């Protein structure tokens, strides 16, 4: 064929139309797809999507982490976005099957190839579906179940923390976790964290009922200490006064003015609106400081419980992500939004973890961020001091002395 084309181009009497026809034929023949294997052709009859229709309700929940009604509701929300109308495929993959593929990936953490094998589709197709559905879930569900915070919302959260966890004027527990990933191409040491893993950081604020009120995904794992929080959007809004936190006010039976605060561990700097525990040297012989640390730790465990429930429900967090970083960000955001959606009717008691699917986090995933060693302002120390005095006077609770004794003995 090539020799024939060369002869055509060399001849002055050749027709240009004939040459163009042959070239067009060659281009079309190159683009012609290989026929699907017999295995892929049986997707509609033997694929997992077809077989899952036989699942009982209990197995359906275990398989996808949503019950059938929740599946239908989420599907209704994202269907217009992931609909495949107008695609080139003769039999485009349906929207319900796409949602199933994504939820199965979250629930199991299996590789794309494993899921592609069971659903009888290509692994690249699975990759595209996961990316498409994760973005659709964030776009449609985030405004309802992870909205921008308002002053009324903060006041409601503070009321829950006071009622359930005995920490007044607390508007959330802040926590940061390293989400372990596979090394991106040409990334150098950007994603290496202090434990030697490659990761991106998931920064979150959690309310009294284990729901996320703020998430930010993406800072590279090499950032540690205060640098992670300092570049976080939550801290920027807090410093700029655009977080809509309520104005400081009195707490009943106390004459002091208390700001509304987040609680955090040693990985965060002590600030006027961020309370962290006293360091070990300050609690060795100081019972009042021990009481403060105990009360703060009790409220702060809501964040640990939220991450534990997230990793227990969606086992994709139990192994390193092998996706591109941009895809990991979308998947993590979608998982956090679904976590909030599934907790919309959940109740919480003061018994931490009671009746919750909360498991200990894997040592290889959702790793704790490194401790913070930055200096704090004197005003922040003063705020912590008035909370300490309150917890050891009019704000004391009957069980705190026994709790401190158990924790420190």
What share of the chain in percent tops pLDDT 70?
A: 78
The reply to whether 191 and 213 lie within a common domain is yes
Is 84 part of a structural domain of the chain? yes
Q: So what's the pLDDT on residue 339?
A: 98
Average pLDDT, the chain: 85
Sign of CA dihedral 256, 259, 263, 264: negative
Structure tokens at 405: 């004794």
- Checking if the pLDDT of 125 tops 60, the result is yes
Q: How confident is the model at residue 359 (pLDDT cuts 50, 70, 90)?
A: very low
Domain final residue pick, 122, 145, 168: 145
Q: How confident is the model at residue 383 (pLDDT cuts 50, 70, 90)?
A: very high
Domain final residue pick, 130, 145, 160: 145
Number of domains comprising the chain: 2
Is 24 part of a structural domain of the chain? no
Q: How confident is the model at residue 39 (pLDDT cuts 50, 70, 90)?
A: low
Q: So what's the pLDDT on residue 187?
A: 63
- Identify any residues that bridge with 181 across adjacent strands, giving them in sequence order: 321
Domain final residue pick, 145, 177, 197: 145
The rounded distance, in Å, linking the Cα atoms of 373 and 228 is 12
- Identify any residues that bridge with 192 across adjacent strands, giving them in sequence order: 198
The reply to whether 140 and 204 lie within a common domain is no
Per-residue pLDDT tens for 200-249?
Answer: 889 999 999 999 999 999 766 566 545 678 888 999 999 898 999 999 99
Q: How confident is the model at residue 397 (pLDDT cuts 50, 70, 90)?
A: very high
Q: So what's the pLDDT on residue 102?
A: 98
The reply to whether 61 and 160 lie within a common domain is no
Q: What is the mean pLDDT of residues 70-78?
A: 97
Q: So what's the pLDDT on residue 315?
A: 95
- Checking if the pLDDT of 355 tops 50, the result is no
Q: How confident is the model at residue 258 (pLDDT cuts 50, 70, 90)?
A: very high
Is 1 part of a structural domain of the chain? no
The reply to whether 78 and 210 lie within a common domain is no
The boundaries of the domain holding residue 319 are 151-408
Q: So what's the pLDDT on residue 42?
A: 72
The reply to whether 123 and 167 lie within a common domain is no
- Checking if the pLDDT of 54 tops 90, the result is no
The reply to whether 195 and 325 lie within a common domain is yes
- Checking if the pLDDT of 313 tops 90, the result is yes
Q: How confident is the model at residue 330 (pLDDT cuts 50, 70, 90)?
A: very high
Rg of the chain over CA atoms, in angstroms?
A: 27
Q: So what's the pLDDT on residue 405?
A: 85
Q: So what's the pLDDT on residue 311?
A: 95
Give the lowest-confidence range in 76-90, 170-184, 298-312: 76-90
The reply to whether 171 and 65 lie within a common domain is no
Is 397 part of a structural domain of the chain? yes
The reply to whether 158 and 137 lie within a common domain is no
The reply to whether 166 and 78 lie within a common domain is no
The reply to whether 161 and 128 lie within a common domain is no
Q: What is the mean pLDDT of residues 22-39?
A: 59
Is 29 part of a structural domain of the chain? no
> Kind of pairing, strands 170-180 and 261-263?
parallel
Is 3 part of a structural domain of the chain? no
Tell me how long the chain is: 409
Q: So what's the pLDDT on residue 85?
A: 57
Q: What is the mean pLDDT of residues 266-270?
A: 89
The reply to whether 127 and 162 lie within a common domain is no
Is 253 part of a structural domain of the chain? yes
Q: Please, which residues have CB within 8 angstroms of residue 43's CB and are 6 or more apart in sequence?
A: 49, 50, 119, 120, 121
Is 7 part of a structural domain of the chain? no
């Amino acid at each position: 064929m090539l020799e024939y084309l060369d002869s055509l181009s060399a001849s002055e009497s050749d027709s240009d139309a004939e040459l163009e026809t042959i070239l067009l034929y060659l281009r079309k023949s190159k683009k012609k797809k290989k026929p699907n294997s017999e295995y892929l052709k049986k997707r509609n009859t033997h694929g997992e999507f077809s077989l899952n229709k036989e699942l009982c309700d209990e197995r359906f929940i275990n398989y996808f982490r949503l019950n059938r009604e929740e599946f239908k509701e989420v599907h209704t929300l994202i269907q217009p976005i992931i609909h495949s109308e107008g695609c080139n495929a003769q039999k485009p993959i349906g929207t319900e099957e796409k949602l199933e593929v994504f939820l199965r990936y979250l629930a199991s953490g299996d590789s794309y190839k494993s899921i592609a094998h069971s659903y009888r589709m290509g692994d690249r197709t699975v990759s595209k579906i996961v990316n498409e559905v994760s973005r659709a879930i964030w776009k449609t569900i985030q405004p309802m179940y992870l909205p921008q915070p308002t002053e009324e919302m903060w006041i409601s959260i503070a009321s829950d923390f006071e009622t359930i966890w005995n920490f007044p004027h607390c508007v959330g527990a802040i926590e940061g976790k390293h989400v372990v990933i596979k090394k991106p191409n040409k990334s150098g040491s950007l994603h290496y964290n202090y434990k030697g893993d490659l990761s991106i950081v998931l920064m979150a604020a959690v309310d009294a009922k284990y729901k996320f009120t703020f998430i930010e995904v993406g800072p590279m794992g090499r950032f540690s200490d205060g640098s992670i929080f300092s570049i976080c959007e939550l801290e920027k809004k807090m410093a700029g006064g655009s977080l809509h936190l309520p104005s400081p006010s009195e707490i009943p039976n106390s004459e002091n003015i208390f700001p509304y605060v987040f609680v955090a561990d040693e990985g965060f700097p002590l600030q006027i609106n961020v309370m962290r525990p006293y360091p070990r040297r300050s609690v060795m012989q100081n019972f009042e400081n021990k009481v403060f640390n105990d009360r703060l730790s009790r409220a702060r465990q809501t964040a640990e419980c939220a991450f534990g429930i997230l990793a227990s429900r969606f086992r994709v967090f139990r192994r390193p992500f092998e996706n591109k970083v941009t895809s990991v960000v979308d998947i993590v955001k979608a998982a956090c939004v679904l976590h909030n959606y599934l907790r919309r009717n959940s109740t919480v008691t003061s018994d931490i973890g009671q009746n919750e699917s909360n498991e200990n986090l894997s040592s290889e995933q959702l790793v704790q961020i490194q401790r913070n060693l930055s200096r704090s302002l004197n005003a922040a120390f003063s705020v912590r001091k008035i909370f300490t005095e309150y917890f050891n006077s009019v704000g004391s609770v009957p069980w705190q002395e026994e709790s401190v004794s158990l924790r420190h003995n």
